[in-house]
Amino acid sequence: EVQLLESGGGSVQPGGSQRLSCAASGFTFSSYGMSWVRQAPGKGLEWVSTITSSGSSTYYADSVKGRFTISRDNSQNTLYLHMNSLRAEDTAVYYCAKSGPLYFEYWGQGTLVTVSS
């Protein structure tokens, strides 16, 4: 059974940093692209970033480019999202997803990041 468990969410001040983690199990992590998708409170889904299976290629939404960095540790079956220069509009539930890097096949339960002073 595929399991994705996000952690690292919480409250952070504007301009601050946060690192999200996603622990994966139930599949061969190193064979699949992985993504982060977020959802602001009461809003729709927004793709944030994708990384290929080897980590050699990464893709970002314009809204986070230059501020967020996606990475992975295939030896630890873990996906990361390093978030810098956080803004109020980054407040959202962040979902980790097993992707392809095409569609989002399996999703974690999400972790809430709140950016507020």
Partner 1 sequence: EIVMTQSPATLSVSPGERATLSCRASESVTSELAWYQQKPGQAPRLLIYGASTGATGIPARFSGSGSGTEFTLTISSLQSEDFAVYYCQQYNNWPRTFGQGTKVEIK
Residues that bind partner 1 (CB under 8 A): 35, 37, 44-47, 50, 59, 61-62, 95, 100-110
Closest separation between CB of residue 47 and partner 1, Å?
4
Q: Which is nearer to partner 1, 13 or 109 (CB)?
A: 109
Q: Which is nearer to partner 1, 93 or 115 (CB)?
A: 93
Cβ(4)–Cβ(26) under 8 Å?
Answer: no
Closest separation between CB of residue 27 and partner 1, Å?
12
Q: Is 8 left (phi over 0), alpha (psi -120 to 50) or beta?
A: left
Of 8, 20, 15, 7, give the one whose Cα is nearest residue 48.
20
Q: Is 73 left (phi over 0), alpha (psi -120 to 50) or beta?
A: beta
Q: Which is nearer to partner 1, 14 or 43 (CB)?
A: 43
Closest separation between CB of residue 62 and partner 1, Å?
7
Dihedral angle of Cα 69, 73, 76, 77, to the nearest 10 degrees: 80
Closest separation between CB of residue 61 and partner 1, Å?
5
